[in-house]
Amino acid sequence: MPPMSQQSIIWINGRFVSAEAPAIRADDRGFTLGEGVFETLLASAGHLWLAERHHARLLDACARLGLDAPALPLCQAVSAELLERNHLGASRARVRWTLTAGPPEDGPTLVVSAVAAAAPPASVALWQVPFTRNERGALAGIKSTAYAENLLAQAEARRHGADDALLLNSRGELCECATRNIFLVRGGTVRTPELKSGCLPGVTREAVLAICAHANIPAQQDTLLPAELESADEIFLTSSIGGILPVRALQARVLDLAPGPVTARLAELLEAGR
């Protein structure tokens, strides 16, 4: 981890600069309108985990927003250089690629950053918030820089002492959490909301489903209702930085096992592949 007195370095449109230096133009549409996308990747000992999958999702989001996406080799090379410049090459780090529409009459703005990543918690508590995901919205399934909706949901959950917010879609189906995808386990079968629920196509979500297929663990992408969480044997969340996070509580319900046996096995298999 870099010394406390050392300023973090970021990369923006071809320049390495201090993270505290003025870098974004005031008329950048990412700043004024929230018109942009981002990816957050885990780096461990200098290795970017699932960079190709993150870049594929970035390409899809850029195509939907009409943005010119950066090439994967550029993102990888800049990320590797930032990990070294910020003395994170041997550490667990969070790398972020942020692409905005940029100023009017100009090209997009690409910012790459790398900071130390804290160890994930042993388990998390969930709270179902009254807000909904619009599964038919223009931003459904996009990791957009217009993130205020997620932050408000997270703040509501934290007011109830929880770590993340559970969101339903406009049809009252399970969708996702404010910052993670959700899975449940019942009778040994792993289930997660299908993408048409409006959830983000999470990179770790995809990795878990691939692990299930390889390890012969029954898994389904379904239309799920919130009542199904009440009868679930196990519940867990996934994210790129946190990996697999067991859920210990949902509203007033405390789960007997966190992690349960299926969650623990999946976490072990996921970690082995990192």
Domain boundaries, the chain: 9-116, 124-272
Same fold, 9-116 and 124-272: no
pLDDT of residue 257: 81
pLDDT of residue 6: 62
Mean pLDDT by 10 residues, the chain (274 residues): 63 96 94 97 95 98 96 98 96 97 95 96 97 96 96 98 98 98 97 98 98 98 96 96 97 90 97 86
User: Beta strands of the chain (E only): which ranges?
Assistant: 9-12, 15-18, 36-44, 47-48, 92-100, 109-116, 124-133, 164-169, 174-177, 181-186, 189-193, 219-222, 234-239, 243-250, 253-254
Burial category of 201 from C-beta neighbours within 10 Å (exposed 0-12, middle 13-18, buried 19 and up): middle
Biggest CA pair distance of the chain: 57
Which residues touch 18 (CB under 8 Å, ≥6 apart)?
7, 8, 9, 10
- Are 130 and 251 spatial neighbours (Cβ–Cβ below 8 Å)? no
Question: What's the whole-model pTM score?
Answer: 0.94
Q: Both tokens of residue 81?
A: 């250089």
Alpha helix (H) residue ranges in the chain: 29-33, 51-65, 72-85, 148-159, 203-214, 227-230, 261-272
The partner residues of 111 in beta bridges, in order of sequence, read: 12, 98
124-272, superfamily in CATH? D-amino Acid Aminotransferase, subunit A, domain 2 (3.20.10.10)
Question: CA-CA distance, 13 to 224, in Å (whole number)?
Answer: 42
pLDDT of residue 202: 98
Look at residue 73 and give its three-state secondary structure: helix
Of 106, 127, 71, residue with least CA distance to 250 = 127
Question: Tell me: domain 9-116, CATH 1.20.1530.20, correct?
Answer: no
